[in-house]
Structure formats: structure tokens, C-alpha cells
């Protein structure tokens, strides 16, 4: 029968087997990878995301590549151990059948050795795989965040023709699943293939001829398992296919429901003032009912799919016994052989089924690849958007600057401005006339602008919007933003707060809170002014930066700027006439792109 192993030299035979299969599999996988990355879209996407990490010339040297090879080696060891365990089981049952006690105890000893190796190997495999997944995730997250922030793509992306949706989900969820799915699918495919070949050989050895409808089929068991799994797979695939779309929709409906909840939370005060609960309830109810309707559809489809798969598994438990039973009863094979046939049948079945079951995972894996490379493309496209040319200078000079709306309507036509150190300009005009968009153009954030701008770059220019952004963290962080809070000592912070008339906050510097909710809009604007004193830019652009303050406060803040930074150029945007007295020039924008510049009388 040839189903006995020479256990005394098996460690050597197995070592040679493992090394040769490892070398062959590593070379085969490398070749396959080259072909996939050359001829498939998803292969190219994978290369873009993974190769820089695994290249020995990358940041982490050889470690990532060596980890993958180690994972491959461990997977091959696992297949070999399963093969050995199937022979051990055969020998043990045969010893029992022959009432051969010494042989039985010998096989128990062999089992203990194999089981120990199996446990140690599994534990080590979990460590190596998970460590690689974590390190890969860290690397990729760092790379994606850097790419997203680079050239302010995170903001300018909204102006690209196909604005990318949910970059947050891509960076948090998709990057999390990409390394994990790559390893699971890759290792699963390789070990299934190796297992398929190994156990098919065992089945081949154990199977005999079978007469079907008068025709004798040699090695029948081997052919039967393949035919069985292929037919079962075709049916399972047809039953399970709608699940791919249903699962995709489930994620989308959940995300949409969550977004509505977050939006309500973020705008809670606004909604509460307007008593908008009924409308919000309606929106939440509709979105949630989509989630639930889809959940029922998933359930009914899943019942059919699982029911079929379970039936197939149950049949596969008894099928090998049924087929081999006549040969066992006619004493052509032993009980051990019968049992080993069944386990080999199970292994071949599982290995073949991997490719069927992985279809679903592979579909979501491709979606992850699409989303991640889509984000990288969107970042590139955002960086490539046009913007006004900005060159370094100590003051502000604008020449031939034309600002348009996306629909090509002109907001500001051919603007020329020259503001020397210490000068100040107030920009006014009708609502929607393009004042904020002009500021965006000067900051190179608006892609529909052309012309030349000369101004200080980096910290030399500071743009203060109507509502300054307050980061999550302490008040000290908010005060120092975009610099690090750690560099601002108590005395300096207290002095700044006193100057912008917020002395009462000096003892809350290290409190962590959502300060944009806690502070009133006017207090937030005062904090914005304190930042000007921290950064000390050469040019400050203030876009309705005092709109929430009374005139007395407005005056004292502008006086403060002039006292502390007499040479700073100030460009303010605002509707209020009270602002006029703090500026020496006025720029009035019209609705059709025209503009007029005039001197202001100082009072
Ligand atoms: N991302 C955008 N896509 C399309 N149109 C935009 C976009 N951003 C601004 N606009 C349009 O550009 C015009 C100018 O807007 P802008 O915010 O500059 O006006 P503004 O003068 O600052 O108005 P306000 O005084 O009300 O603040 C508006 O008609 C606005 O609808």
C-alpha cells in the first residue's frame, strides 16, 4: 500500500521536503506576482501600495521581505505537519485494529512530538504575521497621511473633478484591512495550493478503482473529490454571489446613517434652537430603515448560502467512507487507510474550497485597493490643480490677479495691489462678491485664479478666518496653533490672554476640551488675534475676524496689532463701517469682477 512512513528518518525527509517546497513556492509566487503586477489592474494597484514597503531599499530594509518569507516557510511547515499527522492517525488506528499495543504507544509518542511542534509553530506564526501586519499598517498610514497633507491635498481635493469621498474611512478602515487581507489571502492561497498537491498525492496512493455504470474508474476517490468540490462550488457561487453586493451596500448604508448622526451631534445647538428634531428624526429613520431592510436581505441570502455549504460539508464527512467501505470490507485497506482517506479528502476539499470562499473576500479586497489607490490619485490631482503664482517678498504685491468661480464667472478681474510694510487695506463688497475667495486665491487655495502674487511665505503670512480653527486638545494647544503648545510657557500664555482680554482663561491652559464648542464665537476670535501675536507675521489677512465682537473690543484688538506689530501689513475683509478707521486704504469689489481702490481718511 505504501502508506507507512519511516518515522526514524522522517525529520530529515520532512526537512528536505519543506526546504524544496519553500524554494519552489517562493520562486513560483515571485513569478506569479510579476505576472499579476504586469497584466492585471489590481496587481498594479497592489504593487503601488506594497512594493515600496517590501523593497529592501525601503525604510525598513530587509525585515518586511524576510518576514514574508518566514510566514511562507511556516505555512509550508503547517501543511507538512498535517500530512505527518494524517500518517500518524493512520498508523495509530491500524495498530488498534491489529491489537498491536507497542505500536499504538509508539504512535502516541509521535503524536506528542508532532502536536508540540504544531502548537509552537502556530504561536510563532501568529506573532510573525500580526507583527508584520501592524508594522505594515504603521508604514502605510504614515505614508498616506503624509501624502494627503502634502501640498494641502486634503483641502484642495474638494476642487478636483472627481472629489474623493470619505478619505477618513480610507485612511482609518481601508489601511487597516489592506495588510491584513493581503497576508490572509496570500498565505491562504499558497498553503491551499501546497496542501492540495500534498493531499491529492496521498489520496492518489489510497484510492482504488471504482466501477461506475459498468465503467471502471481508476483512482476514483481523487477524481470524485475534485468533481464533488467543483460542482458544489458552482452552486455555492451562484447562491452566494448576491451577498457581495449586499455586504457592500450594508457598509454604505451604515456609513450614511453614522454620518447623519455625527452631523446632528456637530450641529446640535443649531438644530435645538430651531426645534428641528422632527426633520432629523425623519432623516435618521429613513437612513436607518435602509440599513435594516438590507440586513434582512443579507440574512435570507445567508441562510440559503450557509444551508447549502453546511449540507456540502456534511456530505463530505461520509462520502469518502461510503466510497472506500467496499475496499475496507474486502480487506484491501485498513481502518487507518480508511480514516486517512477521509482526512485527505477533507484537506483537498478545504483547499479547493478556499478559492471559492475567498471570492467574496477578494471582491472586498479589490474594493480596498481601489479606494486606497483612488485616494493617492486624488491627492496627486489636487496637488496638480492650478493656483496663482506666489513668490517670496517682504510686503504684498499683486499683479493681474483674476479670480473666477468654477462656472467661469469673474469674481475679481485683473487686480493690482501694492502694500508696503505697515500699510493696511480693507476689502469690502456685496455678499457673494468674492472677498473670501480672493483671500483663498492669495493663499493659493483656490484653483480658479491666475496672476502673480508676491508676499512672505511660510509663517511670514497669516490668514485668520471668521472662525479660527481650534484643534482638539488643551487651550494652550489652541493658543499656539499651528505651533506646538509645548513651546508656550505659562507666563507667555497668560500675557497673551490678558492682551486679547481673555484673562479669565489663564488658569485653564491645560484643560483638554472641545474648545470650539466651549468658547463663544467672540472669544474664539480673540484667541485668533492672540495667535497673530505669537506668529508675528509680516502680512496678516483677516477675513471678518472681528465679526462677533462689539466695536469696543474690535478697536482694542486692532490697536493691539498696531502697537505690537507696527510694520505688519494688514488686509481685512469685512462689511462693518467701523473697520474703516483702522485701515488706510479701501478695496471695493463689485459683483461683476470690477473693483475700486481708494484712500481712507484716518480719524
Ligand atoms: N467651492 C465652491 N464652488 C462653487 N462656488 C463657490 C465655491 N466657493 C465659493 N463659491 C461661490 O463664489 C462666490 C464668492 O464667494 P465668497 O465666499 O468669496 O463671497 P464673499 O464675498 O466672501 O461673501 P460673504 O460676504 O457673504 O462672506 C459665491 O457666489 C459662492 O457661491
Interface pTM (ipTM) of the complex? 0.96
My answer on whether 377 and 398 are in the same domain is no
My answer on whether 277 and 426 are in the same domain is no
End-of-domain residue from the set 332, 357, 384: 384
- pLDDT tens-digit series, residues 107-123: 999 999 999 999 999 99
Domain range spanning residue 370? 9-384
My answer on whether 303 and 452 are in the same domain is no
Sequential DSSP letters for 109-132 = HHHHHHHHHHHHHHHHHHHHHHHH
My answer on whether 231 and 320 are in the same domain is yes
pLDDT at residue 22, as a whole number: 92
Whether 466 is covered by a domain: the verdict is yes
Q: Given a cut of 80, is residue 357 above it in pLDDT?
A: no
Whether 409 lines ligand 1, by a CB cut-off of 6 Å, is no
- pLDDT tens-digit series, residues 222-244: 888 889 888 988 898 889 888 87
Whether 432 lines ligand 1, by a CB cut-off of 6 Å, is yes
Instruction: Give the number of the atom of ligand 1 that is nearest the alpha carbon of residue 440.
Output: 18
Binned at pLDDT 50, 70 and 90, residue 2 comes out as very low
Whether 2 is covered by a domain: the verdict is no
Domain CATH code at residue 107:
1.20.1560.10
CB distance 548 to 525 below 8 Å: yes
Whether 3 is covered by a domain: the verdict is no
Mean pLDDT of 250-279: 89
* Alpha-carbon span 402 to 407, nearest angstrom: 14
- pLDDT tens-digit series, residues 514-569: 888 889 999 999 999 999 999 999 999 999 999 999 999 999 999 999 999 999 99
Q: Given a cut of 70, is residue 3 above it in pLDDT?
A: no
Domain CATH code at residue 577:
3.40.50.300
Mean pLDDT of 133-157: 94
pLDDT at residue 603, as a whole number: 53
* Alpha-carbon span 503 to 511, nearest angstrom: 15
End-of-domain residue from the set 327, 361, 384: 384
Domain count, the chain: 2
My answer on whether 423 and 402 are in the same domain is yes
Q: In which residue are the cell numbers 482680554 written?
A: 501
Whether 1 is covered by a domain: the verdict is no
pLDDT at residue 602, as a whole number: 61
| CA angle at 392 for the pair 388 and 396, rounded to the nearest 5° | 75
Cell of 218: 481508476
Q: What is the CA radius of gyration of the chain?
A: 35
My answer on whether 252 and 394 are in the same domain is no
- pLDDT tens-digit series, residues 325-348: 888 898 888 888 888 888 888 888
- pLDDT tens-digit series, residues 64-101: 999 999 999 999 999 899 989 989 999 999 999 999 99
My answer on whether 369 and 426 are in the same domain is no
Q: What's the whole-model pTM score? A: 0.81
Mean pLDDT of 253-264: 91
Q: Given a cut of 70, is residue 160 above it in pLDDT?
A: yes
Average pLDDT, the chain: 90
Mean pLDDT of 297-319: 91
pLDDT at residue 1, as a whole number: 40
3-class state of residue 589 by DSSP:
strand
End-of-domain residue from the set 384, 417, 451: 384
% of the chain with per-residue pLDDT over 90: 59
pLDDT at residue 198, as a whole number: 87
Q: Which of 409, 437, 449 to mutate to test the pocket of ligand 1 (most atoms within 8 A of CB)?
A: 437
* Alpha-carbon span 251 to 243, nearest angstrom: 12
My answer on whether 164 and 126 are in the same domain is yes
The Å distance, Cα 398 to ligand 1 centre, comes to 21
Whether 4 is covered by a domain: the verdict is no
Whether 219 is covered by a domain: the verdict is yes
The Å distance, Cα 434 to ligand 1 centre, comes to 6
Mean pLDDT of 422-436: 92
My answer on whether 557 and 523 are in the same domain is yes
* Alpha-carbon span 343 to 203, nearest angstrom: 9
Binned at pLDDT 50, 70 and 90, residue 216 comes out as confident
My answer on whether 426 and 297 are in the same domain is no
Whether 59 is covered by a domain: the verdict is yes
Whether 121 is covered by a domain: the verdict is yes
My answer on whether 323 and 413 are in the same domain is no
My answer on whether 398 and 377 are in the same domain is no
Amino acid at each position: 500500500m505504501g502508506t507507512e512512513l519511516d518515522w526514524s528518518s522522517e525529520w530529515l525527509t520532512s526537512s528536505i521536503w519543506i526546504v524544496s517546497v519553500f524554494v519552489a513556492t517562493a520562486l513560483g509566487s515571485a513569478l506569479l506576482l510579476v505576472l499579476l503586477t504586469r497584466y492585471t489592474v489590481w496587481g498594479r494597484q497592489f504593487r503601488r501600495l506594497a512594493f515600496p514597503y517590501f523593497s529592501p531599499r525601503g525604510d525598513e530594509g530587509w525585515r518586511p521581505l524576510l518576514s514574508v518569507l518566514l510566514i511562507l516557510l511556516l505555512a509550508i511547515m503547517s501543511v507538512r505537519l498535517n500530512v505527518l499527522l494524517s500518517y500518524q492517525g493512520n498508523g495509530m488506528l491500524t495498530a488498534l485494529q491489529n491489537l498491536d499495543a507497542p505500536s499504538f504507544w509508539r504512535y502516541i509518542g509521535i503524536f506528542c512530538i508532532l502536536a508540540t511542534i504544531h502548537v509552537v509553530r502556530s504561536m510563532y506564526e501568529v506573532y510573525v504575521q500580526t507583527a508584520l501586519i501592524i508594522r505594515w499598517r504603521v508604514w502605510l498610514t504614515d505614508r498616506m497621511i503624509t501624502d494627503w497633507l502634502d501640498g494641502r491635498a486634503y483641502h484642495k481635493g474638494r476642487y478636483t473633478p472627481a472629489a474623493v469621498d470619505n478619505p477618513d474611512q480610507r485612511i482609518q478602515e481601508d489601511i487597516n484591512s489592506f495588510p491584513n487581507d493581503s497576508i490572509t489571502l496570500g498565505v491562504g492561497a499558497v498553503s491551499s495550493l501546497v496542501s492540495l498537491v500534498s493531499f491529492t498525492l496521498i489520496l492518489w496512493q489510497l484510492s482504488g478503482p471504482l466501477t461506475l455504470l459498468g465503467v471502471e474508474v481508476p483512482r476514483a476517490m481523487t477524481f470524485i473529490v475534485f468533481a464533488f468540490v467543483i460542482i458544489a462550488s458552482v452552486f455555492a457561487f451562484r447562491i452566494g454571489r448576491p451577498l457581495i453586493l449586499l455586504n457592500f451596500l450594508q457598509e454604505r448604508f451604515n456609513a450614511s446613517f453614522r454620518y447623519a448622526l455625527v452631523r446632528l451631534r456637530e450641529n446640535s445647538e443649531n438644530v435645538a434652537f430651531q426645534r428641528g428634531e422632527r426633520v432629523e428624526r425623519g432623516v435618521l429613520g429613513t437612513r436607518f430603515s435602509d440599513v435594516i431592510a438590507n440586513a434582512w436581505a443579507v440574512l435570507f441570502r445567508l441562510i440559503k448560502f450557509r444551508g447549502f455549504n453546511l449540507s456540502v460539508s456534511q456530505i463530505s464527512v461520509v462520502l469518502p467512507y461510503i466510497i472506500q467501505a467496499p475496499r475496507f470490507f474486502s480487506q484491501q485497506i485498513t481502518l487507518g487507510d480508511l480514516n486517512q482517506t477521509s482526512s485527505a479528502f477533507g484537506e483537498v476539499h478545504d483547499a479547493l474550497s478556499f478559492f471559492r470562499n475567498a471570492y467574496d473576500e477578494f471582491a472586498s479586497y479589490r474594493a480596498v485597493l481601489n479606494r486606497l489607490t483612488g485616494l493617492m490619485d486624488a491627492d496627486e490631482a489636487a496637488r496638480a490643480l492650478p493656483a496663482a503664482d506666489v513668490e517670496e517678498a517682504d510686503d504684498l504685491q499683486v499683479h493681474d490677479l483674476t479670480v473666477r468661480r468654477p462656472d467661469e464667472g469673474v469674481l475679481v478681474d485683473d487686480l493690482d495691489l501694492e502694500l508696503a510694510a505697515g500699510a493696511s487695506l480693507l476689502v469690502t463688497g456685496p455678499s457673494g462678491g468674492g472677498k473670501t475667495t480672493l483671500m483663498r486665491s492669495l493663499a493659493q487655495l483656490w484653483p480658479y485664479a491666475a496672476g502673480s502674487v508676491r508676499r512672505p511665505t511660510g509663517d511670514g503670512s497669516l490668514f485668520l478666518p471668521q472662525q479660527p480653527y481650534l484643534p482638539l486638545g488643551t487651550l494652550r494647544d489652541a493658543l499656539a496653533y499651528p505651533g506646538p503648545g509645548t513651546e508656550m510657557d505659562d507666563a507667555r500664555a497668560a500675557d497673551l490672554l490678558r492682551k486679547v482680554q481673555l484673562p479669565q482663561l489663564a488658569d485653564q491652559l491645560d484643560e483638554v476640551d472641545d474648545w470650539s464648542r466651549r468658547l463663544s464665537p467672540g472669544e474664539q476670535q480673540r484667541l485668533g488675534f492672540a495667535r497673530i501675536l505669537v506668529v508675528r507675521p509680516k502680512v496678516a489677512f483677516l477675513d471678518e475676524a472681528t465679526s462677533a465682537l462689539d466695536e469696543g473690543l474690535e478697536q482694542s484688538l486692532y490697536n493691539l496689532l498696531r502697537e505690537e506689530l507696527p510694520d505688519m501689513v494688514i488686509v481685512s475683509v469685512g462689511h462693518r463701517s467701523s473697520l474703516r478707521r483702522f485701515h488706510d486704504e479701501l478695496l471695493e469689489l463689485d459683483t461683476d469682477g470690477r473693483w475700486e481702490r481708494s484712500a481712507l481718511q484716518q480719524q
